[in-house]
A and B are shown apart, each in its own frame.
Chain A
Amino acid sequence: MRDTPSNRLWSATTRLTGVLLLTWALVSVLGPWFARDLNQWQVLGFPLGFWVAGQGALLAYLLIIVICIVRMEHLEARYQRESAERDRQALDALAPPAVKT
């Protein structure tokens, strides 16, 4: 794959998407799966397994989305900078700067 700003953005995006989806899947499946075992511990006065499924996982979902927003906006801003830079270079290559008199 050519190393262009758009390819760089897309491969970073898919990597981030993979990590976020994996976290999402772990939270969604492991939390409830082991809820019975987690219930032996207490958090904030709740049995842990019940708390994870009723509140903890929801907070985790919000956190995942916030990370997604922050990282993606960062990546897209970098892409905009890089592609603007590339366009400028391409233009420069087309028309060499006028010689100063």
Chain B
Amino acid sequence: MIGRRYILFLLGFATLLGVMAAAESAGLPRSWIGATFLVVTVGVYACIGFLCRTADEAEYFVAGRRVPAMYNGLATAADWMSAASFIGTAGVLYLHGFAGLAYILGWTGGYVLLAVLLAPYLRRFGQYTVPDFLGARYGGQLPRSIGALSAVAVSFVYLVVQIYGVGLITSHLTGFSFELGIFVGLGGVLVCSFLGGMRAVTWTQVAQYIVLIVAYLVPLTWLSVKQTGNPLAALSYGVQLERNAARERQLTQDPAELEVARRQSELAAEAERKLQDVRGAMARDAQLQTQRIAELRAANAPLLQVQRAEREFVQRPRSEDEARARYEREHERALERAAPLAGMPPQTLPFATGDPTGDEASRQRFDTERLNFIALLLCLMMGTAALPHVLTRYYTTPSASQARRSVGWSLFFIMLLYLAAPTLAVLVKYEVLHNVVGLPINELPQWVGRWSKLDPNLLSVRDLNGDGLLQLGELAIGGDIVVLAAPEIGGLPYWVSCLVAAGGLAAALSTADGLLLTIANSLSHDIYFRLFRPRAAAVSRVIASKMLVMVVALLAALIAALKLTDILQFVSAAFSLAAAAFFPALVLGIFWRRTNRAGAVVGMLTGLGVCSWYMASNLPLLRRFLGITRPLADCQWFGIEPIAAGVFAVPAGVLVMVAVSLLTRAPDAAQLALVDRMRVPAPDER
């Protein structure tokens, strides 16, 4: 029954693609194609949300606990794969090669922890939220409140970034402004979570998974057939890896590339000089810019060039701090791009910054990078297993063993995308290295102009050696467009670009839905109902949650509209925080009967404390904000990056939790009975 509906949906979606392909060749304007994709997909999500509307408590919080394992797997996959997974992963792999695989490993390996340690037991416990479990297992209000507040904090940061992604893609699809894009996309999110809670979100997420996976695999398969003739891209891209490596070897020897790299180091040196006297440099820059605009106008240069120069002048930094930040960025970027292949390591070389057979310093760099890789992937895994919006999904299956099966399905559906991401990165790199590098600068394909106009951080081209040809070192590509622009880079029709954008939108919307619900439920169920109004009726709890969904969504949209790009660095930090807050308390709560309230509370706070302290003393942004002046090298432990703070926080949390539990009274009989009940199936289970 359900299956037939989604097969119909898939067929309908395929028809839409066919119609759009036909319409494009018949000459339908581009903006119409983009708008159709936006309206149709968001419209379908809204319809599903409307059809699944509910005010019943169990339906609203856990979809009535009758989502079959496979469908819950599909929904979890969509819930899990965020805008960052869809848009960003292939970009990271394109730019950083092997180092990006830490994300692929971390975001899949976490599901092993979920299946083995958490999902079936939490499902057997029942109830509605993760803080519910902490409350029942440890008793008292403190563990529940710490859990609820951590869930809200972690999910909110993540939510803002999703809504940012929604705004970016909507404006890319329709040409609306970024802010309008946010609110249009927000409408799609709200219809689902507001009307139907978990039930509507679940069934919408299944449809969103279908859209996002089709959107990822269609351009990938197309590119693969075009390049190698083999539609099974993930199995056959080894050939392209080798061709890329050969081309890369050729480019590292190329005299023009070497000349560009030399120019980049000059630029880096220049930025460094500017940093010596920021005020003077600002004045000189402004003077040079006005002079250049005047020259261009006098020489009757093309309008586009004049406009670009004018835009640069208008957007110049106004305050000394802004200018300093910009020069620092310029310095860093030029230095990075002065390295061979514009700073991109060879695709398959692990820990490329160092060399285990080199001198002392490069051996050191190799070891540090390797250690960081392992630390990051462990943090991502423990964070994956501890993120509340993923854990709640396993409350919706009919039984514990269905929850376990559902984790397997989740990983299967997630893997389809994560196996494709490194492949897409390599195929796109092939296009760039073979078909774009070496073109005359004024004959570059259209997408170069379009993306660099949209945002020079996403793409910029500058003829540094003045030979009129594009060198690899002259093309700066931001990671975020590797997926979004892949169809254009590979020369596929425009409707494929719109399909990819619709897929990115599905990824962002589905994750935003899940997060929004988790935040609203934590606030309404765990804080309002459990702490302040224990006698509130079920209906009023659902209404409270719905109101909070609105408020939280608007708040997140307002923050996203500020375009705080700095917030991106906190997303990966969210994994470490989630791991520190939840992982030890959940796992020990199930596997070690002796864990008690005091241990859990002190352990969770220790984990959160260690994690926050390490990040505060190591993240440049927070260091500046808090005025920490101790040298960075002294703040780091074993050279671990702040993003992986969880590798210290989780063990610290576990140690403290065990020690404090042993020093205080054993948990009471009711808590022990709860543990025993979770460990074995009930007589009527399944």
A interface with B by C-beta (< 8 Å): 5-6, 9-10, 13-14, 17, 20-21, 24, 27-29, 32-33, 35-36, 39, 44-47, 49-50, 53-55, 57-58, 61-62, 64-66, 68-69, 72-73, 76, 79-80, 83-84
With A36-B350, A46-B241: A69-B408 Cβ-Cβ less than 8 Å? yes
Q: How far is the CA of A36 from the CA of B348 in the complex (A)?
A: 9
Q: How far is the CA of A55 from the CA of B680 in the complex (A)?
A: 35
Asked if B404 and A72 make an inter-chain contact with CB atoms under 8 angstroms apart, the answer reads yes
Cβ proximity bits B75-104 to A, threshold 8 Å, 1 near / 0 not:
000000000000000000000001001101
| Chain B residues with CB under 8 A of A47 | 241, 348
B interface with A by C-beta (< 8 Å): 98, 101-102, 104-105, 108-109, 111-113, 115-117, 120, 234-236, 238-239, 241-242, 347-351, 356, 370, 373-374, 377-378, 381, 401, 404-405, 407-408, 411-412, 415, 418-419, 422, 591, 676, 679-681, 683, 685
| Chain A residues with CB under 8 A of B120 | 72
Asked if B411 and A53 make an inter-chain contact with CB atoms under 8 angstroms apart, the answer reads no
**Which of chain A's residues has its CB closest to B97's CB?**
A50
Asked if B407 and A65 make an inter-chain contact with CB atoms under 8 angstroms apart, the answer reads yes
**Which of chain B's residues has its CB closest to A83's CB?**
B683
| Chain B residues with CB under 8 A of A39 | 348-350
With A28-B105, A35-B98, A39-B349: A9-B238 Cβ-Cβ less than 8 Å? no
| Chain A residues with CB under 8 A of B378 | 28
Selected contact of B116 from candidates A17, A55, A79, A83, CB within 8 Å: A17
Asked if B105 and A65 make an inter-chain contact with CB atoms under 8 angstroms apart, the answer reads no
Q: How far is the CA of A63 from the CA of B305 in the complex (A)?
A: 56
Q: How far is the CA of A80 from the CA of B407 in the complex (A)?
A: 23
Q: How far is the CA of A57 from the CA of B422 in the complex (A)?
A: 14
| Chain A residues with CB under 8 A of B236 | 45
| Chain B residues with CB under 8 A of A13 | 679
Selected contact of B680 from candidates A9, A17, A32, CB within 8 Å: A9
Q: Distance in Å from the Cβ of B589 to the closest Cβ of chain A?
A: 15
Asked if A57 and B407 make an inter-chain contact with CB atoms under 8 angstroms apart, the answer reads no
With A9-B680, A32-B377, A33-B370: A66-B408 Cβ-Cβ less than 8 Å? yes
Asked if B415 and A62 make an inter-chain contact with CB atoms under 8 angstroms apart, the answer reads yes
**Which of chain A's residues has its CB closest to B352's CB?**
A36
Asked if A32 and B350 make an inter-chain contact with CB atoms under 8 angstroms apart, the answer reads yes
With A14-B591, A54-B101: A65-B683 Cβ-Cβ less than 8 Å? no
With A24-B112, A49-B350: A72-B374 Cβ-Cβ less than 8 Å? no
| Chain A residues with CB under 8 A of B412 | 62
Which of B120, B348, B349 has the most chain A CB within a 10 Å cutoff? B348
A-B contact pairs, 15 of them (CB 8 A): A5-B680, A9-B679, A17-B591, A28-B105, A45-B236, A50-B98, A50-B241, A50-B347, A54-B104, A54-B422, A55-B234, A57-B105, A62-B415, A65-B115, A69-B408
Q: How far is the CA of A34 from the CA of B378 in the complex (A)?
A: 16
Which of B98, B236, B415 has the most chain A CB within a 10 Å cutoff? B98
Asked if A80 and B683 make an inter-chain contact with CB atoms under 8 angstroms apart, the answer reads yes
| Chain A residues with CB under 8 A of B102 | 32
Interchain residue pairs A-B with the least CB separation, the first 4: A45-B238, A35-B350, A50-B348, A53-B101
Q: Distance in Å from the Cβ of A75 to the closest Cβ of chain B?
A: 10
Q: How far is the CA of A50 from the CA of B104 in the complex (A)?
A: 12
Asked if A44 and B238 make an inter-chain contact with CB atoms under 8 angstroms apart, the answer reads yes
Asked if B117 and A33 make an inter-chain contact with CB atoms under 8 angstroms apart, the answer reads no
Q: How far is the CA of A41 from the CA of B680 in the complex (A)?
A: 46
Q: How far is the CA of A66 from the CA of B69 in the complex (A)?
A: 13
Asked if A29 and B374 make an inter-chain contact with CB atoms under 8 angstroms apart, the answer reads yes
Asked if B235 and A44 make an inter-chain contact with CB atoms under 8 angstroms apart, the answer reads yes
With A13-B679, A36-B351, A45-B242: A68-B404 Cβ-Cβ less than 8 Å? yes
Selected contact of B405 from candidates A46, A69, A79, CB within 8 Å: A69
Asked if A84 and B683 make an inter-chain contact with CB atoms under 8 angstroms apart, the answer reads yes
Asked if B373 and A32 make an inter-chain contact with CB atoms under 8 angstroms apart, the answer reads yes
Q: How far is the CA of A44 from the CA of B237 in the complex (A)?
A: 10
| Chain B residues with CB under 8 A of A58 | 104-105, 108, 415, 418-419
With A28-B105, A58-B418, A61-B109: A10-B411 Cβ-Cβ less than 8 Å? no
Q: Distance in Å from the Cβ of A3 to the closest Cβ of chain B?
A: 14
Q: How far is the CA of A53 from the CA of B96 in the complex (A)?
A: 14
Asked if B374 and A33 make an inter-chain contact with CB atoms under 8 angstroms apart, the answer reads yes
| Chain B residues with CB under 8 A of A46 | 238, 241, 348
Q: How far is the CA of A79 from the CA of B682 in the complex (A)?
A: 10
Asked if A68 and B401 make an inter-chain contact with CB atoms under 8 angstroms apart, the answer reads no
Q: How far is the CA of A53 from the CA of B681 in the complex (A)?
A: 36
Q: How far is the CA of A20 from the CA of B680 in the complex (A)?
A: 19
Asked if B109 and A53 make an inter-chain contact with CB atoms under 8 angstroms apart, the answer reads no
Q: Distance in Å from the Cβ of B238 to the closest Cβ of chain A?
A: 3
Q: Distance in Å from the Cβ of A60 to the closest Cβ of chain B?
A: 9
Selected contact of B239 from candidates A29, A45, A61, CB within 8 Å: A45
| Chain B residues with CB under 8 A of A5 | 680
Q: Distance in Å from the Cβ of A53 to the closest Cβ of chain B?
A: 4
**Which of chain A's residues has its CB closest to B104's CB?**
A54
Selected contact of B401 from candidates A20, A28, A33, A76, CB within 8 Å: A76
Q: A50-B101, A69-B405, A73-B404 are in contact. List 10 more A-B contacts (CB 8 A).
A: A28-B374, A36-B356, A45-B236, A65-B111, A65-B112, A65-B115, A65-B411, A69-B401, A76-B401, A80-B683
